[in-house]
Amino acid sequence: MAKNSIKALILDMDGVIWRDKHPIGDLPKTFNKIESRGIKYVFATNNSTNTVEKYVELLGQNGLRVGIEQIFTSATATAKHLQKLHPDGGKIYVVGMDGLEKTLRNYGFEVSSDDPLAVVVGMDQNLTYEKLKTATLLIRSGVPFIGTNPDKTFPSPAGLVPGAGSMLAAIQTATDKQPEVIGKPKATMFLQAIETLGEKPENVLVVGDRLETDIAGGQAANCKCGLVLTGVSNKAMGDAWRPQIDYIAETLDTLIDQV
């Protein structure tokens, strides 16, 4: 691939920038390198647990100054999807964290189990049987079942822990219904990010650690893709992936040296 063909990056966060908010490598050094090359960047994460404002704060704590317009999450993608279907807002039942609930409220929805327009399920570290029960009964009664993202696991310093996909699987088993998934590997967030970046897809590099979401989604959006080995995928998995991945590197920092 010709050098300097990459004009912008769409970066996953969990497993790329940090693990459970512990930074991976010297982030200010890496981003100084990116900026010195004149490469633009945004962040796109399947994690629905935080608001975009919280991500700006978390990145700032790691020495990175970004604006809310540079953050794309499965929560915002889900909220925008629901807003298109229900421009006047309404009630949504949520199995998820405060960040998902706040995002839905910011887009004009009320969080309630009383005759909701949809059941939205994301990663929930406070998951209870009662939440599963309520979601199951609503979905079985005909309420649409929506998942923010299908990530089965989530990288942490202790290892891989249950992600949103694990919550979806429990409810799917109980309801015999497949959720409509909004986040990666669908191209929705990537297309939103490409529009913000103002670049052609072929000049944008999607960087992620998870083949079935980050890489599949980036390829669906016709972007170049880079796999880093700091999250859930290893090199053998990356080498075996088809279509072939454009770049595979140990870390984001070493990936930038290849671009």
Q: What is the C-alpha to C-alpha distance for residues 97 and 54, in angstroms, rounded to an integer?
A: 13
DSSP string, 46-88: S--SS-HHHHHHHHHHTT----GGGEEEHHHHHHHHHHHH-TT
Q: Which residues lie below 8 Å from residue 238, measured CB to CB, with a gap of 6+?
A: 211, 227, 229, 245, 248
Q: What is the C-alpha to C-alpha distance for residues 38 and 53, in angstroms, rounded to an integer?
A: 25
Q: Which two tokens stand for residue 127?
A: 């998951």
With both helix axes pointing from N to C terminus, report the angle between 74-85 and 98-106 in degrees, rounded to the nearest 10: 40
Q: Which two tokens stand for residue 255?
A: 């990936």
Q: Name the nearest CA neighbour of 193 among 71, 49, 38.
A: 71
**9 φ, ψ to 5°?**
-120, 140
Largest CA distance in the chain: 56
- Indicate which residues carry an active-site annotation: 12, 14
221-248 per-residue burial string, b: 16 or more CB within 10 A, e: under 16: bebbbbbbbbbbbeeebbeebeeebbbb
